[in-house]
Structure 1
Amino acid sequence: MSFLAKNKNDIIYVSLLLFSVAISPYYRSVTSIQIKKWVGSLIGILLIIIVSGYNSLHPIVSGLLGIGAIKLFTVKYCHTVTFFFMFGHLFFFRLADNFGLPLPSGQTNLIQMIIVFRVVGVAFDINGSWLAIAKGKKNEYKDKTGRYSQDRDDDFLEIIQPSVVDIFHYTFNYIGLLTGPYYTYRTFDDYFHLPFSKCVDCFGFTINTLKGVPVFISLYLALSNIWPLEYILTEEHHNRNFVYRMFYPWILFAAFRQRIYSGMTLAQSVCTAAGLGAYPVEGRNRTSHGPTVGYLKLKQMSEEQAKNVQYDFKTVESMDLWGCETCITMRDSMKVWNKAVQYWVATVVYKRFPFTPLKLHAALFISVIWHGFHPGYFFCLYFNPFYLLAEDIYYKLYYKDATGAKKKIVGFIMWFLRSHSESYQAAAFLLLTFDRIWIYYSSMYHYWYGVWLVFLILGIILKQVHNLKKSKKDSVETKKDKVN
């Protein structure tokens, strides 16, 4: 009973995700587009009410008002107004207890986060598509022979101008509503109007996606119960030897990854079971974006042709699980971790932010406040650039051009340092509040920040020495060429 009480919210959430997976084949079989859209939205709103109860007003009302902002303001300003309104409500939502309202649950918070992404995302898509056409960025996709000559599509190929009802259905459709993944309005619209979901082997993809979930859940339960998070704050932990305390966050982060893997995999399975996000592999599909090559050609594919092509669900693939565990650098780790969120932040914030020197900081700031206002998120996410400064230097000096055994040894060292840095930062992400973070980091003498600084200074010196040696070598070779 204590186990059920402790994990009540997680059990409810997993059950709702499994329910969403189970009903998706039936949802996919609905033939009428309008009925299918309404059924998806009604299921989505029902899930919000089950998860949130009274607090369901937050995601529902904010979603409706956000849709209103999109339609009330012109294409030129709708994305900006919608962005500030949705994030403004997110502030209010997270500080509800300061206004005499009950603080929403973590599960409601996840739904609100997805609603923000969808409403803001479609507003930016609408604005971006009109800008692309107005500025003449749309290229001709056929040469004189009638073949598609462009190797890679532009971001926007067609005007995106959904109706109020269509945005409503996109915002509240149950697929991906509980915990993602984020997909664009274009992907949502294609799901209803293109034949791919009818032709792909949804059952096979879903079974293949789900098979790792029992392992992830088992590992999470085992690790989190044997090595609990709260132990890191106890006097007993502080009295353990330094090496034990140094590696304890490795276990905490490992348990956290299994939890994320479980949720993301189940969420992706909802998409695969419904057929949403299925595209022919020839489109070179990318997470959240969909096809990156020949999209207009794919739209012309008949149902008979669609039956004879190979498909993937990369459009709704949030996590590269193997990449998360094995990638060498933090830069690569950031690319394979929660790719759907990375895509949204890159397209909505990084690419569209008007001041180039501040693009990275703007993207990091929005990513942090989207996750929440806890200091732990700032400690975890905002220190990544400082680690990357040092990592990039060592990568170029010792790994990039290395071969054989040297490459393997340097690669292992960089993997270890990347893993250790992420684990150290993850401790702050999990502890959340400043006082709890300070207790743990103080018990560790804040050592990893010192290590980062030493690595960076040493790396800068080694880079200067390397450049000096290279310039001398080039000078000698130039003199030899003149003599010859």
Structure 2
Amino acid sequence: MDQQDVIYLAVLVASILLAHIFRLIPQPGIKQVFGGIIGFSIAVLVCGWQVYHSLITASVNYIFIRHVSTKYNHILSFVFCFAYIGFTRVSFLLGLEPIGGHTNVIQLILTVKLVSLAFDIRDRKISQESNKKDEDSRTAIFYRDEYDSALLGFKMPTTLPLIPDIVEYYCFVYCFVGLLTGPFFRISTFRHAVWRPNAGSLPTLKPSLLRLAPFPLYAGITFIFAKYFPHAYLGTDEYGELPYVHRILYVVPAFIGYRYRYYTGWSLAEAAIVASGVGAYPVETKPEAGQGPTQPLSDGKSSGQLDFSAVYNLDVYRIETATDMRTAIRHWNMSVQWWMTYYIYKRFPSKSLRFPAVWFTSAYWHGVRLGYYLCFMSTVLTSLTESTWWKATAFLRKKGPMYERAMLVIGWFLCFRYFEHLAVGFMLQHPSIVFKSWSYTYFFGHSLAICVLVLAMLLTAVVPPEKKKE
């Protein structure tokens, strides 16, 4: 573990303790300033002088939302934020110091937060001006009621401005919970936490400890597998000299160490954000990751049970037991998944290009290294394979519980073989190294997907329709 990892873990652990203090502060003004100062201090600690990148991003966006018409500020915010993270990643070509890992992560979090803020301001203004009554419009309902007690279970002040003032803005930008790792949350979620009455009495200890409980296990798995099966080895000549079966098998523990590293960091981050009270909503409002509450309380009454789904980043159980990659990916970095769906997929003008637009945006957001794009493009093949496979084998699952369990085990096995080998693009990033690693296994993940696809097509063609209906 290098020095940067030690600082990273120390900051996350300290954030859990600071989050309890944040929640206990009764005055909204002091509370938000406390969160902002702590967050900016963390940014300076982990980024050093490179903190200027986040200051530039935040300051330019504030000019957009404050001084540019809502017809255009969301577009300007999107273009500028994504252009700037692209610039930070190639700035070394201009002789500037390469952006640090922690600086890059903060830029990623700020990008989704600031773009969402600009879009939310625009959407809320449109909703207020048009005074929509369409009960089928989920967007209209959310923006009309986002500060209403029927949705939240508590009262919010009626004088909150559409556009936050400069103090609230920078406190939201640099709020310390989620700053280094996520999860992403919106300005409305931030305001709910700041202005919530009696937030100090919220029962956050138990849910915070529940999110923290797996940390020792995740950390232990990460340490062991990262030490004995480093993913960087996948791109070396020595890896290519291993027996073929060993090359196939090595990817399994390498990917375990890689993904459990994220589980480790996110378990600490989620424990901190739960302890802070950010994203705490009545369970009856059915909050979703990223969005917040989705349904109003019945008669304004709540059982008092809290749900923190609005600020959960991942569901490890559903990822590890997924029987297809779509399910696994859907429960990975869930708040950003929602962001991609809500701000990109649902708003992209061409319906036929919505999926490619999301894939490209997600790959670009992660980085400019072509390995990300190779990974995302490869999911087109695996998605086609899995959907065809499950349709072709549906008749087998109907034969009884034993057959269904067997097919689910097979689906899980195939899913993680695809997942592991496609993730090499993420783990190694450089296209030449990614292709070299894939070539060592004869593109095992892609080849397996093609073989399963052919088998599924043969089953579809050979099995009589009456057999499928049995």
TM-score w.r.t. the length of structure 1 is 0.87
Q: Is it true that 1:392 corresponds to 2:393 in the alignment?
A: no
Q: Is it true that 1:330 corresponds to 2:317 in the alignment?
A: no
Q: 1:472 to 1:373 in 2, by over 3 A?
A: closer
Question: Matched residue of 2:347: which SS?
Answer: coil
Query: Which residues in structure 2 correspond to 1:62-81 (within 5 Å)?
Result: 62-81=57-76
* 1:369-424 deviation per Cα after TM superposition (whole angstroms, max 9, x unaligned): 11001121112222212211111122123248534111111111110010010000
Q: Is it true that 1:433 corresponds to 2:416 in the alignment?
A: no
Aligned residue in 2 for 1:283: 285
Amino acid at match of 2:401: G
Question: Matched residue of 1:290: which SS?
Answer: coil
Amino acid at match of 1:187: T
What's the offset of the Cα at 1:133? 4.8
Query: Which residues in structure 2 correspond to 1:3-22 (within 5 Å)?
Result: 6-22=1-17
1:363 pairs, out of 358, 363, 385, with: 358
Q: Which moved more, 1:351-360 or 1:456-465?
A: 456-465
Q: 1:363 to 1:45 in 2, by over 3 A?
A: same
- For structure 1, the residue ranges without an aligned partner over 5 or more in a row are 1-5, 142-149, 475-484
Report the Cα distance in structure 2 between the residues aligned to 1:36 and 1:96, rounded to whole angstroms.
Answer: 36
Report the Cα distance in structure 1 between the residues aligned to 2:454 and 2:334, rounded to whole angstroms.
Answer: 32
Query: Which residues in structure 2 correspond to 1:221-232 (within 5 Å)?
Result: 221-232=223-234
- For structure 2, the residue ranges without an aligned partner over 5 or more in a row are 147-160
Report the Cα distance in structure 2 between the residues aligned to 1:95 and 1:35, rounded to whole angstroms.
Answer: 39
2:25/2:200 contact within 8 Å kept: no
Q: Is it true that 1:38 corresponds to 2:38 in the alignment?
A: no
Q: Which moved more, 1:131-140 or 1:403-412?
A: 131-140
Aligned residue in 2 for 1:477: none
Q: 1:13 to 1:459 in 2, by over 3 A?
A: same
What's the offset of the Cα at 1:137? 4.3
What's the offset of the Cα at 1:134? 5.1
2:315/2:332 contact within 8 Å kept: yes
Q: Is it true that 1:410 corresponds to 2:407 in the alignment?
A: yes
Aligned residue in 1 for 2:152: none
What's the offset of the Cα at 1:271? 0.7
Q: Is it true that 1:83 corresponds to 2:78 in the alignment?
A: yes
Question: Matched residue of 1:178: which SS?
Answer: coil
Q: Is it true that 1:26 corresponds to 2:21 in the alignment?
A: yes
1:373 pairs, out of 350, 355, 368, with: 368
2:207/2:274 contact within 8 Å kept: yes
Aligned residue in 2 for 1:161: 162
Q: 1:215 to 1:398 in 2, by over 3 A?
A: same
Query: Which residues in structure 2 correspond to 1:94-173 (within 5 Å)?
Result: 94-133=89-128, 137-139=132-134, 154-158=141-145, 161-165=162-166, 166-173=168-175
Aligned residue in 1 for 2:187: 185
What's the offset of the Cα at 1:13? 0.6
Report the Cα distance in structure 2 between the residues aligned to 1:397 and 1:197, rounded to whole angstroms.
Answer: 52
Query: Which residues in structure 2 correspond to 1:238-253 (within 5 Å)?
Result: 238-253=240-255
Aligned residue in 1 for 2:154: none
2:344/2:357 contact within 8 Å kept: yes
Question: Which entry has the higher C-alpha Rg, 1 or 2?
Answer: 1
What's the offset of the Cα at 1:319? 0.7
Q: 1:397 to 1:70 in 2, by over 3 A?
A: same
Question: Matched residue of 2:423: which SS?
Answer: helix
1:246/1:444 contact within 8 Å kept: yes
Q: 1:177 to 1:152 in 2, by over 3 A?
A: closer
Q: 1:339 to 1:32 in 2, by over 3 A?
A: same
Report the Cα distance in structure 1 between the residues aligned to 2:363 and 2:274, rounded to whole angstroms.
Answer: 29
Report the Cα distance in structure 2 between the residues aligned to 1:412 and 1:333, rounded to whole angstroms.
Answer: 15
1:138/1:156 contact within 8 Å kept: no
Q: 1:69 to 1:214 in 2, by over 3 A?
A: same
* 1:202-229 deviation per Cα after TM superposition (whole angstroms, max 9, x unaligned): 1222222111111111111111111122
Aligned residue in 2 for 1:346: 341
> Alignment length, in residue pairs?
453
TM-score w.r.t. the length of structure 2 is 0.90
Q: Which moved more, 1:108-117 or 1:200-209?
A: 200-209
Aligned residue in 2 for 1:469: 465
2:24/2:199 contact within 8 Å kept: no
- What percent of counterpart residues are identical? 27
Amino acid at match of 2:235: L
Q: Which moved more, 1:397-406 or 1:354-363?
A: 397-406
Question: Matched residue of 1:383: which SS?
Answer: helix
